[in-house]
Structure 1
Amino acid sequence: MTWLRRFTGLRVRLAAAFTAVALLSSVLASGISYVLLRRVVLQRAQSAVLTEVRGALRQQIPQQIPPDTEPVLAARLEDALAAPGRKVAAVPVPLRGGVPAVPPGRLDVPVSEEFARRATRGIVFERLVVKNRPSLEGVPYLLVGARASGYTTTADEPERTTPPMVFVSVRLSGEAADLRSFARVLVVADAAALVAALLLALLATRGVLRPVRRLGAAARALGAGELATRVRVRGHDELADLARTYNHSAAALERTVAELRAMEAASRRFVADVSHELRTPLTSMIAMTDVLAEEAAAADDGGAARLVAEETRRLGALVEHLIEISRFDAGAAALVPDDVNLADAVAGTLAARGWADRVAVEGPADLFVRADPRRLDVIVANLAGNALKHGAPPVSVRFGPADAGPGGEPGVRIVVADRGPGIPDDLLPAVFDRFVKAEAARSRSEGSGLGLSIAMENAVLHDGTLEAANGPDGGAVFTLWLPSRRDTEEECDG
């Protein structure tokens, strides 16, 4: 996804927007310039031709026209208006409102009847492009039609003293070439403006995004736990205000986290101190209540004594669990690794607690793992005890080699399963949290709610994992994975 972010990132979008605006502005300015120049060029050519036609009519046609001079006047007008790229046709004016006709081939462009009729009323013009003649395809032309005025004719024979009409076709190839050259210059200028705009956009976005990147890096460092991370504030713009806001927020967060850590450390010390202070009197109380329970049992009146002894032992177990948790919180828990035979370790754990006949064990007899025997015993005991207390038979412990763990390294897997009601769906994500019980709504239950938390802490201490799930046939399934050999010991051995 790095390449996708590279082409859809903020810098690319800002540069694209900046370049698009610059290109649009350049194209718009070029288009307006081209239209204005085209209008000026064509207007200038048109004005020059119209002025020349008017001048030729005034100069070549006298006010009093002698009879039968129309051919001579026509020749004089054609000679006067002849020029390169221009063709002239002087044709007689039909009497009684007729439309003059230009012989085919006299001009480069055809003269329509409507244009000829308008030309009989004065001088007219129009611009057109030849499309039906291959040799002149796409060439612009100016067509001018004019009739002389300000002369007198003979009253009895006006046709003998009427001057001819003039039609002129002017090829605007020079003007068209100039416009094409100007258009090419505009295209080159637009391309140069596009390149310059792109370079300026990249430079501008670099200056804008550099503070944003610094803020992003600082935010990532802050998220990684480096609460002392700050950014340098430069300038007085919005980005500088954002940097100041980040620094103030980071400082406030650092103070809050420091206070929370101090409170958490104080609470952990309090729990540890209280647990240690309770251990000594509880040990004496457990011993005395056991003696009282035995004496009361001998006298056949030991219900209350047994209850006190049981509750005292339960309180002692809770204190032991709290002490163990406090060690994990303080980072004082340490491993004493050894090569452990899993079959012997599991059998010893179950036998020591009298569960050997209640739990089915399945696994190879020669499978070894590098682990702390005492902490492995705590994990298996907590998982098996949890299955016996809250599940239903048959309870099983299966172990064997695991081809690959979470990081791909080899290890061993221990699975403890039962056929009880399983773990409620709402409790499954928090089953390893502290003081979480399946019967949390009751005021009192047998467990302390710390056994699975201690098992998880011990698994993590081994660089292993512990997962909880519900089996397909019902019941809870706890899966412990431990690496075959710890990385730290491999480094030491090497």
Structure 2
Amino acid sequence: RHHGRPTMWAAGPADHGRALAVEVDYSQQARTIAGLDGAILWSSLLAIGATLLVGAFAVTRVTRRLHATARVARRITAGDLDARVDDPLTRDRSRPQDEVAAVAAALDSMASSLQSKLLAEQRFTADVAHELRTPLTGLHAAAELLPPGRPTELVRDRVAALRTLTEDLLEISRLDTGRERLDLDAEHLSTVAERVVRAAGGGAGSGGAGDGTRVEVVRDVYVETDRRRLERVLGNLVANALRHGRAPVVLTVDGPVVSVRDHGDGYPEYLLAHGPQRFRTEGGATGHGLGLTIALGQAEVLGARLDFANAPDGGAVATLTLPQRPPVGGTPEDAGPR
């Protein structure tokens, strides 16, 4: 700078040992360069900001679609096979398909395939049960006409087992349709539990059965529920405990929660991990694996939750948690614990 101004100097040799120097005022050029630097800086900031906004918008769209795909996958895992991603890109095949659209299309295709196979299985179960029902009715009537004796008892026993299996298959097919309706009634939960135990024990005294099955009431409640379905759930749990576990089998009523515990080897690992599965048994167990499947299905119809676990000191524990509703026309005294 010269005299406070940007200055450019140029010098060179001249004649007789002298030098020639030229002073040029550089103020205008300096202002031009400074303005150009500022323009470059601001344009760069604007370009970076625009790029970030466009990138954020694009990433948000992708992540939103991924979150929607994940939500649908969780719904399918929970059993809702009607759930679909229905990604916008998958509707128009002429548009370029990105990776998210490919994943969404694959998930929708998988759900449709699973649903089709499940519906085919349900139709097959229902058809088999209906087709077996008529000839079994005739076979049962014919077995009743046989003369008394051990062979007749064996035939009647097997016919009864086949009829029970057929009725279980029909019940499962009705549960599969999802059209079951509740027939609500109000009753003390302990009364229902005692009735189930008496039926399992062949008419033993109140609160217990001759085979070591008993009811323990911690806190009784008056609940409004479908009595027949509730007895079916508890009856299947008790029957499973008596068949596959060891005595004593204890029904514990604690408010709207009923637990059924035996003292056997406990539930198998597959059942704890995935729940009851029809026609699957392990360890040489008898039966068809339908009892717990029906119990779980009827519990869902009741709006209840049925959990399976093994006790730390041995034995299987099934816990039924009922939704407690106020009784129809009940008095406050009836609605409370007794």
Same fold (TM over 0.5): yes
Other-structure match for 1:420:
264
> How far does the alpha carbon of each residue in 1:38-89 deviate from its partner, in whole angstroms, 9 at most, with x for none?
xxx99x63x42xx2xx4486359xxxxxxxxxxxxxxxxxxx99x99xxxxx
| Residue 208 to residue 346, structure 1, CA distance change in 2 (3 Å) | closer
- Which AA in structure 1 matches 2:319? T
CA positional deviation for 1:353: 2.8
Structure possessing the higher radius of gyration over alpha carbons:
1
The answer to whether residue 96 in structure 2 is matched with residue 241 in structure 1 is yes
> How far does the alpha carbon of each residue in 1:186-219 deviate from its partner, in whole angstroms, 9 at most, with x for none?
6533431232112331454367558646854774
CA positional deviation for 1:432: 1.3
The answer to whether the 8 A contact 1:278-1:319 is kept is yes
C-alpha distance in 2 between matches for 1:432 and 1:347 = 25
Q: What is the aligned-residue identity percentage?
A: 31
CA positional deviation for 1:379: 0.7
CA positional deviation for 1:321: 0.6
- Which AA in structure 2 matches 1:201? T
Q: How does 1:218-297 map to 2 (within 5 A)?
A: 219=69, 223=73, 225-226=83-84, 229-231=87-89, 240-242=95-97, 246=101, 250=105, 261-262=115-116, 264-289=118-143, 292=146, 295-296=148-149
Other-structure match for 2:185:
338
After superposition, the CA RMSD in angstroms is 4.1
The answer to whether residue 205 in structure 2 is matched with residue 351 in structure 1 is no
CA positional deviation for 1:245: 9.3
| Residue 193 to residue 254, structure 1, CA distance change in 2 (3 Å) | closer
Residue number among 163, 170, 173 corresponding to 1:323 in the alignment: 170
C-alpha distance in 2 between matches for 1:214 and 1:479 = 39
C-alpha distance in 1 between matches for 2:282 and 2:157 = 21
- Which AA in structure 2 matches 1:308? V
| Residue 320 to residue 231, structure 1, CA distance change in 2 (3 Å) | same
- Which AA in structure 2 matches 1:460? E
| Residue 431 to residue 195, structure 1, CA distance change in 2 (3 Å) | closer
CA positional deviation for 1:336: 0.9
- Which AA in structure 2 matches 1:378? R
The answer to whether the 8 A contact 1:363-1:399 is kept is yes
C-alpha distance in 2 between matches for 1:309 and 1:222 = 50
| Residue 203 to residue 178, structure 1, CA distance change in 2 (3 Å) | same
C-alpha distance in 2 between matches for 1:457 and 1:428 = 16
| Residue 219 to residue 418, structure 1, CA distance change in 2 (3 Å) | closer
C-alpha distance in 2 between matches for 1:233 and 1:333 = 35
Q: Equivalent residue of 1:437, what SS?
A: coil
| Residue 418 to residue 180, structure 1, CA distance change in 2 (3 Å) | farther
| Residue 427 to residue 273, structure 1, CA distance change in 2 (3 Å) | closer
Q: Equivalent residue of 1:197, what SS?
A: helix
> How far does the alpha carbon of each residue in 1:107-154 deviate from its partner, in whole angstroms, 9 at most, with x for none?
xxxxxxxxxxxxxxxxxxxxxxxxxxxxxxxxxxxxxxxxxxxxxxxx
C-alpha distance in 1 between matches for 2:91 and 2:181 = 45
CA positional deviation for 1:452: 0.4
C-alpha distance in 2 between matches for 1:477 and 1:194 = 68
Other-structure match for 1:58:
17
Q: Equivalent residue of 1:459, what SS?
A: helix
C-alpha distance in 1 between matches for 2:171 and 2:132 = 14
Q: How does 1:118-129 map to 2 (within 5 A)?
A: none
**TM-score under structure 1 length normalisation:** 0.52
| Residue 232 to residue 387, structure 1, CA distance change in 2 (3 Å) | closer
C-alpha distance in 1 between matches for 2:314 and 2:32 = 85
The answer to whether the 8 A contact 2:213-2:249 is kept is yes
Residue number among 476, 485, 488 corresponding to 2:316 in the alignment: 476
Q: Equivalent residue of 1:449, what SS?
A: coil
Other-structure match for 2:205:
none
| Residue 472 to residue 266, structure 1, CA distance change in 2 (3 Å) | closer
Q: Which moved more, 1:467-476 or 1:206-215?
A: 206-215
The answer to whether the 8 A contact 1:215-1:243 is kept is no
| Residue 305 to residue 232, structure 1, CA distance change in 2 (3 Å) | closer
| Matched residue count | 306
Other-structure match for 1:373:
227
Other-structure match for 2:301:
461
Other-structure match for 1:432:
276
| Residue 285 to residue 211, structure 1, CA distance change in 2 (3 Å) | same
Q: How does 1:188-227 map to 2 (within 5 A)?
A: 188-202=38-52, 204-205=54-55, 208-209=58-59, 212=62, 216=66, 219=69, 223=73, 225-226=83-84
C-alpha distance in 2 between matches for 1:354 and 1:286 = 25
Gapped regions of structure 1 (runs ≥ 5): 1-40, 61-79, 85-173, 297-301, 402-411, 487-494
Q: Equivalent residue of 2:139, what SS?
A: helix
**TM-score under structure 2 length normalisation:** 0.73
| Residue 56 to residue 458, structure 1, CA distance change in 2 (3 Å) | same
CA positional deviation for 1:472: 1.1
CA positional deviation for 1:244: 10
CA positional deviation for 1:430: 3.2
CA positional deviation for 1:454: 0.6
C-alpha distance in 1 between matches for 2:259 and 2:272 = 17
Higher relative contact order (CA 8 A, sep 6+): 2
> How far does the alpha carbon of each residue in 1:215-274 deviate from its partner, in whole angstroms, 9 at most, with x for none?
54774686562365533899x9xxx42259938973x87677656645543442332232
The answer to whether the 8 A contact 2:220-2:254 is kept is no
Q: How does 1:124-143 map to 2 (within 5 A)?
A: none
| Residue 470 to residue 232, structure 1, CA distance change in 2 (3 Å) | closer
Other-structure match for 1:393:
247
The answer to whether the 8 A contact 2:201-2:213 is kept is no
C-alpha distance in 1 between matches for 2:84 and 2:115 = 14
